[in-house]
Structure 1
């Protein structure tokens, strides 16, 4: 079995997650082709030009669950062409079963992706043995693709256990995990993978996670990067060059810009409206025109939507600020 195009040691910096732009009217279930191709191309090019180290697509707010296969295939083709090999592209291929996931993975490989952002089937909860067998089956079917495990405890009916992480890290194609909820198990999970794969915290948690594993936690994921990635690019520079004092200050700014994004401060409540809230925030920021949500995930309580719009506006301001020439950026303090 051949190895993946990328190894865990290649996973560094900002892994920016982009939406799947939708044309007006895409909230109508009668519309068969919802993909905004020109905006998809423009957005992918912009993320790379502004410093993203990799592009991830078609996870939760990328609407993997509500795209037709034709739309997902065409979207992938546009993104891969726009990125043109300048950074790795990971595309979500999650379905409700292993066979369909493998079929998608093979088709995406043929389009030219570097890897997959891969959650586990979510109709029923899978135990550790079935979870590991699922990822191993996909890895064996597309051995040249790197896999980023998607560990979303709300979407996939529970968090991946530490024991399962140790077994996943034995699969050469598994190079990283998108780790949405940083908490008390992170240190145990980090020890279990033992440098064989990267655990990717969200941008706001990257510094805290990095302090637990300075030699291993060298990348983050960010949906907020689709509101303009310059703050996250600067955060990556500060962390990877050892300017942890400066990183502390920037993390505080990102936290302030995200205040109110989680309704009532609850990740579980946020997860009920994940797609809607992310697209509302991105559209408010104006960096990417994400368009409307695809059905059935349309509605969102206005107080929650207001929090997302406010966060998008603040993140857009941060992007504009950190897009200024280096000499005009806020001065970072030295030291760890």
Structure 2
């Protein structure tokens, strides 16, 4: 057993989530190799050069469920090579069962990833005992890798319970959780993990969550950072520096840029089109060329797509403003 590559203490700052760039034509189910390798490498360099603290992918809009294993393996290899140790790299390995997930996790470990973004099998809902046993089995199989639990209540048929969080925090390799839906349960879950793992809110909720645990809520996740991360990087800098008034102002800007992205304001409805809407928004923002969605998650209602493009426009403007301010401060 080697040393743990990503520890709880190292989970700090902005964990940016990027898509898996796809070549033109990737919506065709007959296409066998959809990975845009050149754009993948360019995007990783751009995110790291712009100041993100970790790169994560192959969750939902990273298309873990629709990549072939050879595509996911090659993508992970490029992430690791491009990052070159500058920031931690976390890759999703979720499958429909524990044995396949472990096989993927071992291969990713051997490629050099630092950790896993790991959801639970989603064919049937896992109760607490099965959920914890699943994460423990993966942790024991790849003890070198830090695990970021993916707590998406729509994708995985329910929210992880507070009792399950307390048990997960006992597993040394479980270093964090991607916490997509901030709500009343967050405070209880934060108390249950007792600093043994990090709970990562989405960027725009970071200030509110941080107030509940200033010493523990020291990282966030962000999908919109793939639309240009300069505002998000500044949010992280200000929170970690203790400038909470400045951080709250930026969080408000991120929230405003996200307005209208969830169709009818519904996370459940958004989740039906998560991949399509995220990739539409990223492409429209212009920072990363996400490319087409892989089947079967290809189409979405045009009015939902319009909301994603409008959100992209706002994020692109926000990134440009913070980029200009950053350049001005260096002169």
The alignment's TM-score, normalised by the length of structure 1, stands at: 0.97
Q: 1:130 to 1:3 in 2, by over 3 A?
A: farther
Match of 1:79 in 2: 79
Indicate yes or no: 2:323 matched with 1:308. no
Find the aligned partners of 1:6 and 1:155 in 2 and give their Cα distance.
25
* Secondary structure of 1:120's aligned partner: coil
How far apart, CA to CA, are the structure 2 residues paired with 1:85 and 1:313?
32
Aligned-residue offset at 1:313: 1.1
Mapped to 2, the partners of 1:57 and 1:248 lie a distance apart of 27
3-state SS, counterpart of residue 183 of structure 1: coil
Give how far 1:328 is off. 4.9
Distance 2:251 2:318 in 1: 12
Gaps of 5+ in 1: 330-336
CA distance in structure 2 between the partners assigned to 1:75 and 1:8 by the alignment: 25
* Residue 126 (1) aligns with residue 161 (2): no
Give the Cα–Cα distance (whole angstroms) in 1 for the partners of residues 324 and 166 of structure 2: 43
Detail structure 1 runs of 4+ shifted over 6 Å in the superposition.
none
Deviations 1:293-325 (A, max 9, x none): 000001110110000001011101111111124
Deviation at 1:7, TM superposition (A): 1.3
User: Which secondary structure state, in structure 2, belongs to the residue aligned with residue 323 of structure 1?
Assistant: helix
Aligned residue number for residue 246 of structure 1: 246
* 1:33 corresponds to 2:36: no
Whole-angstrom distance in 2 between the partners of 1:6 and 1:318: 31
Residue 298 (structure 1) aligned with residue 295 (structure 2): no
Partners in 2 of 1:82 and 1:2 — Cα distance? 23
- State the distance in 2 between where 1:133 and 1:175 align: 16
Tell me which moved more, 21-30 or 245-254: 245-254
Distance in 2 (alpha carbons) for counterparts of 1:244 and 1:115? 30
Residue 324 of structure 2 aligns to a residue in which SS? coil
CA contact (8 A) 1:125 1:156 kept: yes
Q: Does 1:187 align with 2:187?
A: yes
Aligned 8 A contact 1:29 1:295 in 2 = yes
- How many angstroms apart in 2 are the aligned matches of 1:7 and 1:77? 21
Please report the RMSD computed on the Cα atoms of aligned residues, expressed in angstroms: 1.0
The farther-off stretch of 121-130 and 1-10 is 1-10
Q: Which residue of 1 aligns with 2:237?
A: 237
Q: Calculate the TM-score normalised by the size of structure 2.
A: 0.98
| Number of aligned residue pairs | 329
